[in-house]
Structure 1
Amino acid sequence: MATATKIHLNPATDAGIYSSNVREDAAQTASEILQEDMAKHHVFFNDQGFHNHIPHQILSIYALGATPEHIKAGYKHNKIYQRPALPASQDVIQSMHDVAKFQECLGKEENYPNYLAFFQQEIDDKGVGGVLEEYIFAGDERAENMLCRLFGGLVHPLIHLGFGLEFNQPAIVAQALAQTAVHEDWIGRQFFLPAEKMAGGIGKPGKKSLLQLLDEVHTDKALIESVRWTDANKIRDGILTRAPGEMVKYAAQFTVSEEQVEEKLADMINTVVYYTSTAQRPTKDMKLDFFFIHCLNSSIFFSKIIKLPFLDQRSKLRLLEWKGRMDLLMYVSRGMPDLLLEEVAQYPIKDDWSQIFARSLAHPSDDGHLAKLVRALAHGEKVCQPYESSNRQMPIKGDMWLRIGNIAVDSTVKEENSPMWIRSTGFDEAWEPQGGARM
C-alpha cells in the first residue's frame, strides 16, 4: 500500500489516466527505484535550481509499457548527475507547525528535506485531500503563498504534484509540496493574482477561448516588444517588466465556469499542442520548444484534477484558469513565433502510437521529457476528439495528433550533436547553432 513515506505502484489501480501495456514487474521495479530516489537524491541536481526529473521519467515510461530493464536503464542514465539528499533537522520540522516559522522557511533550498518530512507527517495525519486543502487551497496567507509557488520553476512543482495525484502516490505528493515550498513566488504575485483580481474572481463564465486569446496577443504591439533575446528571464525581466498590464489584461479573459470545465480543458490542451507543434521554421529541421513542452506535458494531469473527489469545485476551476493563463504567458515569453499548421499537416506518419511509445522508451538520452510529451499527446487526442466535429475551434484534429507524435520522436533522435529541443523558438537566435537556453 502506498503511503506518505512508501511508494507502491499497483498496475490495477495506479496505471495513470493514460497508459499502455503496463506491467506488474515494471510496477515493482519502478516502486523500488522511486523509493531509492526519494531517499538518496535532492530535488535539484545543481545549484542553479535544475530539477530532478527521475520521478517524472520513471512514472511516464512505466505508464507507456516499459520493462524493468527500460526503467533500470533510464534510472542509471539520470541518477549519475543528481545531488545527494540533504540532512533534515527535527527542530526545523517541528517548528513548521507554527505558521510564521513555516513561512520563514519558504524559498530556501536547504529546507527541502525538512518540508518533505513535514508534509509526509501531515499527509499521514490528514490525508492528501486534507493537506492540499489546508496548504494550497485554504485561501489564507500561507496557502496563497504556496499556490503562487506551485506555478514557479517552469511549472515543475505542478507537474510533480500531477504525477503524485495521477498515480495515487502520497509520497510523490509530499515531494511536490516540499518542492513547491522551496520555489520562488514572484510569478504568482506579479501575474496570477493580479489576473485573477482583474477577472473578478474565480469561475466566471469564459467568453473567449484560449485559442482566441492566443490570436489576440500575437498582434499586440506592446507584447511583441516586451521580450528580448538578451533577457535573462523572459517572463520576469521581459513581459512582467515591460508590459505587465497588457499581459494581465489578456490573461484575465481566460476564465472557466463550472459548466465549461470539460470544454475549456479540451481548449487548453488543443491550444498548447497547437502552438508547441506548429512553432517551426520551414528552412530548418523541425524541433519542439523546450519551454512550450512543459505546458503540454502538464496538461495531462488536469483530466485527473477535475475529477478528484476531495477537491472542491472552486479549487478545480482556479487551477484550470491559472493553467490557461500560464500557457498564454509562456507563448508570449518565447517571442510569439508564427504558427505554421501546414508544417504539421504535411508531416509523414511513419509510426503508430505503439511504435512512438517504443521509440521514446528506447531513447538513449531522454530524461523523461520525451516520454511525458508523447503520453500527453496521446491523451490529448482522446480528450479533444469529441469536440473536433463541432463548431468549436480545434486546430489540432484527426491524424494531426499522430503526426505530432512522429515529429516528437523524429526530432529528438537526430544526429549526435543536435540538441533534442529548441529554446525560445520565436527568436532567430534560437535557430542558430548553439542557440542559447535563457529562461
Structure 2
Amino acid sequence: MGNSNSAESAASEPGQFTTPGSNINRPELPKPLPRPPKKGATPHEKLHQLLRANHATYSVLYHNRIYHNHMPHLLGSAYLLGAEVYQLIELYEHYSKELDGWKEDSPQEVTHFDWRDFYGKKEYQRGYRDFFDDLVVDASFEWKRVISKFLLDDDATLLLGLSGGLAHPLIHLAYAYELNSAEVATEALTLDTTCFRPSSSFVRDFVNIYENMSITDRAEKLEKDPLKVLQIIRESTDISNAPISSAGALGASDDVLEQSKDAILALAVRLDFSDFQKTAQRIFHSTSLLATASHKPEKYNVDFVLLHTLTAAHAVQVILPYLPKKHKTQLVIELWLFVVITYISGQRPVIDEERIWSYEVEKENKSWDFIIRHAFSSEMRFDAHYLKVIRALKTLYETSTIAHDPSLYMLQATQFALETHGWTFGPDDEHTE
C-alpha cells in the first residue's frame, strides 16, 4: 500500500514526465508510413494554372488594344504537341513580357440589358470579360452552355462574327474546346464582341445567291475544288478594282468591304456546296497550300495574313462537332468567305503545290517527332503562329482524306518548321521579326 501511494505522489508532482511508450498499460502507437515525395504539376495541371494566370493578369487586347493576346494559342499548341512543364513555363514567361496587364475598366459595366450595344468597341473588353465570367459562374461552370447561347442567339449574329479580327475569336474559341477551358471560352466571346465585323450579311447574301442559282448556272459555274475557284479569282478582272485588293485584311474598313461585297460574292459563290462534308474538307486542304505554297519560288517567305486561313480552318474543324447542322453550314461558308477576302487582300498570289514536293528532306528527318523536336528548339517557338501552323498541318495529316498522298502535310510542316524565320506581309514585303 505504502509503495503504491508513493508512486502516485511522485507521478503527480510537477516536472515529472515519462517518455512516450514507457507506460506499460498503453499500447505503443504504430509508426506512420513514409509519405511518397510530392510530385510537381503535370503538363495538364501547369497548362491550366498558366491559362488562369493569363486570364486574371493580362488583357485580352493589348498595345492600345491593337493586338490579340495569343497566350492560349501558344500554350495550347505547345501542350497538344507534347510540351513538358518547363517548356510551358518558358513560353509563358517569355510571351507575357510583351502583354499588357489589366490597366483600365470599361466606360461602363456590361449587363444583361445592354451587352449587345457595344459590339466592335474594344474599350469594353474588361466589361465583356467580367460579364461572361459571371455568366459561366452562374451556369455552374458549364461554359459550353454559355457559348452556345450567345453564339446562336439573335440569328447566330456572334457565330457569324467569329472571323472578325483576322479570325482570332474563332481560333481562340477552338482552343477553349480543345483545352476545355472556361477562361479561354470567355476570352473568345470577349474577342468576338469587341472585334465584331458585320460579316453575317456576307454569309446570308452568299446563301441567297447560291440557292437562287439556276440548274444551268450550277452546271456551268460551280467548281468542287476551292483551289480552282481561287485561280478564277486570281485571273478575274472584275475584282482588280475592288478596294479590298489594296486595303489588306488587317486594315480594310467595313465600308471598304461593303464596296467590294458584290464583286467578292460573285466569285466566292462559284464553290459547290452540294456535298457539305467534302467541301469543308477541301477548304481545309486548300488553306494548307495557301499558307505554305504561295511563297516566291526562290525564297521561302510565309505571309503572316495568309497563314491565318489555315489556323482558322483548323479552328472550324474543331468547333463543327459542337454545332447544329444549320450552323455548321453557316460557319463553313463564313470560313470560305474569310479565305476569299484574305486571298484577295494578299494580292492573290500563285498557289503552287510543286513548291512543296520539290523541297528535299533527309530520310531520317521525315517524321513528326523530328518536326516537333525542331519546333521546340527553334527561336520561332515563342511565336504562337509558328506552333499553330505545325499543329494544323499535323491534324490534317491525321484526319484529311483529300490529299492524294497525306505525306504532303508532313512535308509542308517540315519545310515550315525548318525554313520559317519570320513573316512577310504581302508578296513584295521582306519584313521579318
Task: Using the TM superposition, name which of 233-242 and 362-371 deviates more.
Answer: 233-242
SS of structure 1 residue aligned to 2:62? coil
Which one-letter code corresponds to 1:319 in the other structure?
L
Q: Of the candidates 413, 420, 424, which is equivalent to residue 412 of structure 1?
A: 420
Counterpart in 2 of 1:194?
205
2:108, 2:127 within 8 Å by CA — same for their partners in 1? no
Consecutive unaligned residues in structure 2, runs of 5 or more: 1-39, 213-217
* Correspondence 1:20-419 to 2 at 5 A: 25-47=42-64, 49-86=66-103, 92-93=109-110, 96-98=111-113, 101-126=114-139, 127-140=142-155, 143-144=156-157, 146-189=158-201, 191-200=202-211, 208-226=224-242, 231=247, 235-236=252-253, 240=257, 243-254=260-271, 256=273, 260-283=275-298, 285-308=299-322, 311-350=323-362, 351=365, 352-365=367-380, 366-384=382-400, 386-389=401-404, 397-413=405-421
Which one-letter code corresponds to 1:374 in the other structure?
I
Task: Using the TM superposition, name which of 112-121 and 60-69 deviates more.
Answer: 112-121
TM superposition shift of 1:60: 0.5
Residue deviations 1:393-426, cap 9 Å, x none?
xxxx34322221122112224xxxxxx111122x
1:306, 1:316 within 8 Å by CA — same for their partners in 2? yes
1:272, 1:296 within 8 Å by CA — same for their partners in 2? yes
Q: 1:303 and 1:228 mapped to 2: Cα distance?
A: 27
1:254, 1:321 within 8 Å by CA — same for their partners in 2? no
Which one-letter code corresponds to 2:308 in the other structure?
H
Which one-letter code corresponds to 2:109 in the other structure?
V
Which one-letter code corresponds to 1:270 in the other structure?
H
2:245, 2:345 within 8 Å by CA — same for their partners in 1? no
Which one-letter code corresponds to 2:210 in the other structure?
A
1:227, 1:234 within 8 Å by CA — same for their partners in 2? no
State the percentage of identical aligned residues.
20
Cα 1:255–1:316 change in 2 (3 A) is farther
Which one-letter code corresponds to 2:171 in the other structure?
I
TM superposition shift of 1:80: 0.7
2:301, 2:423 within 8 Å by CA — same for their partners in 1? yes
Computed over aligned residues only, the root mean square deviation of the Cα atoms, in angstroms, reads 2.9
Q: 1:148 and 1:307 mapped to 2: Cα distance?
A: 17
Q: 1:109 and 1:62 mapped to 2: Cα distance?
A: 29
SS of structure 1 residue aligned to 2:109? helix
1:195, 1:248 within 8 Å by CA — same for their partners in 2? yes
TM superposition shift of 1:237: 8.2
1:223, 1:239 within 8 Å by CA — same for their partners in 2? no
1:238, 1:333 within 8 Å by CA — same for their partners in 2? no
Residue deviations 1:369-392, cap 9 Å, x none?
1110001001112222x3445xxx
Q: 1:375 and 1:254 mapped to 2: Cα distance?
A: 27
Residue deviations 1:132-181, cap 9 Å, x none?
333221344xx52x234321110001100111012222221111001111
Task: Using the TM superposition, name which of 191-200 and 41-50 deviates more.
Answer: 191-200
Q: 1:196 and 1:179 mapped to 2: Cα distance?
A: 26
Q: Using structure 1 for the length normalisation, give the TM-score.
A: 0.78
Cα 1:65–1:153 change in 2 (3 A) is same
1:74, 1:367 within 8 Å by CA — same for their partners in 2? no
TM superposition shift of 1:102: 1.4
2:160, 2:331 within 8 Å by CA — same for their partners in 1? no
Q: 1:434 and 1:87 mapped to 2: Cα distance?
A: 33
Task: Using the TM superposition, name which of 220-229 and 131-140 deviates more.
Answer: 220-229
Cα 1:243–1:102 change in 2 (3 A) is closer
2:245, 2:344 within 8 Å by CA — same for their partners in 1? no
Q: 1:400 and 1:387 mapped to 2: Cα distance?
A: 11
Which one-letter code corresponds to 2:231 in the other structure?
D
1:239, 1:333 within 8 Å by CA — same for their partners in 2? no
